[in-house]
Each structure stands twice: as structure tokens, then as C-alpha cells.
Amino acid sequence: MADDLDAMLQGCRRHDRAAQRQLYERFHRTVYRLAARLVGAQEAADLSQEVFLRLYTTLDQFGGRAAFTTWLYRLTVNTCLAYLRQQARRPRPLLADPPGNGVGPAHRLEQTDLLEQALARLDGPLRAVFLLREVEQLRYHEIAAVLGIPPGTVASQLSRARTELQQFLRRVEQGQRDAL
């Protein structure tokens, strides 16, 4: 598997289109999944495209000291966080409040919408830590390597992210109970 990946990366460095396609096929779901949860489904395709273009053009910078997936996660997270930082500088409509009084069962959020709304309330870096753990199933030391932060910081940020998400979900639950 590793040899297979090495051959693919060597092909990509030679700008071999078949190797680029193979690398895309192997990793595009990972990149898209993370981007979709980090920035939302609407922007995920554009940012995934951006990640792969950067990947192909900056592959020379990957020295092979870290795992390729660590490098790819870092590229994806950094691209998405840069986008979120840029969006934060622009005026934008406030996100809707969680459903409260007056919201009936018919408006109950689907699981995906609920997760998206909950994640949207987290700061970008906290969201990244949470997703790398819960969606990508990385260990703390792996998340630390991706984000360039100490494992202890991963633990504390993850705990904070979960607390904020729990608080949001409790408010949603309370709102739905009150509406019944």
C-alpha cells in the first residue's frame, strides 16, 4: 500500500495525469468529507478543488518525513480555515438561533442539518479538532501533528468543543420539548 502511494506521488511530481487521477480517487472522499463539515456543503467542492490543485503544485514540499495523510489533512484544514478567516472578515447574516419556542415537531431538524448548525457555532480551529477526532478518527498525537499543536492542547480543545456542542444540542432539545 505504501509502495503504491509512493509510486503515485512520484507520478504526480512528474505531472503524470494518470497518477494525479489515482491520487484523487484515493483521497477525494477524505478531503471532501472534511471540507464539507468544516465549511459546509456549499463551499466544500470549491475548497476540495483548491486543496487538490495545491496538493499537485506543492507536492515537492512534502518531504516524506510525516505521513502523507497528515500532510493532506493539514493542507485541507489550513485551506478551509483560511477560507473561514476570510469569511469572518466579511459582514454576513447571523446564523439562525436554535429552534426554540414556537417550533413544532414538523420543524425538527434532520440529523445532518442539526450537526451542521451545531458545528457552525464552533470556532474554526475547534471545529477542526472535533472533526479530526470524531469523523476522521485520529488519535490525539495524530491531530497534534496535523495542526501543529501539543497533544495536551488537542485534549483541552476537544473537551471545549464537545461542551459547546452539548450546550447547543440541549438548547435545541429543550426548544423542541417546549414546542410540544
Partner 1 sequence: MHCEQARQWLSRFQDGELAPAMHAALADHLKICTACAAELASLTDLRRLVQAAGEPEPPGDLWERISQQLPDPARPRSRWRQPGRTVVAAGVLLVVLVAGGLGLRQAFHSAQPLPAAAGLPPAWQPYLDSRQLSHVGDPVRLDQAARFVSFRVPADLSLPEDYQLEDCCVCGDGCCDVVCCCFVGRTDQVLLVLCADGHPVRTNGPPLAQPRINGKSVRVVRCADRLAALWQANGTAVSLIGPRDLDQLVQLARYVDQRLQAEP
175 touches 101 (CB < 8 A): yes
Measured from the CB atom, is 116 or 179 closer to partner 1? 116
Residue 54 touches partner 1, criterion: CB under 8 A: yes
**DSSP 8-state symbol, 40:** -
Q: What is the dihedral of CA 57, 47, 62, 155, to 10 degrees?
A: 170
Amino acid (one-letter) located at 161: A
Measured from the CB atom, is 86 or 101 closer to partner 1? 86
Number of residues that bind partner 1 (CB under 8 A): 55
Candidate residues 38, 79, 127, 176; the one interacting with partner 1 per rule CB under 8 A = 79
Least distance to partner 1, CB of residue 163, Å: 8
Measured from the CB atom, is 8 or 165 closer to partner 1? 165
Q: Which of residues 21-50 bind partner 1 (CB under 8 A)?
A: 21, 24-25, 28-29, 32-33, 36-37, 41, 44-45, 48-50
Joined together, the cell numbers standing for residue 116 give 451542521
**d(Cα 19, Cα 178) in Å, to the nearest integer?**
56
143 touches 126 (CB < 8 A): no
Residue labelled with grid coordinates 501539543 = 150
Residue 64 touches partner 1, criterion: CB under 8 A: no
Among candidate residues 41, 45, 32, the one with its CA nearest the CA of residue 136: 32
Q: What is the dihedral of CA 109, 111, 114, 118, to 10 degrees?
A: 170
39 touches 80 (CB < 8 A): yes
Least distance to partner 1, CB of residue 174, Å: 13
Taking CB under 8 A as the rule, which mask of x and - marks residues 89-128 in contact with partner 1? x---------------------xx-xx--x----------
Residues that bind partner 1 (CB under 8 A): 14-17, 20-21, 24-25, 28-29, 32-33, 36-37, 41, 44-45, 48-50, 52-54, 56-58, 60-61, 74-75, 78-79, 81-83, 86, 89, 111-112, 114-115, 118, 133-135, 139-140, 148, 155, 158-159, 162, 165-166, 169
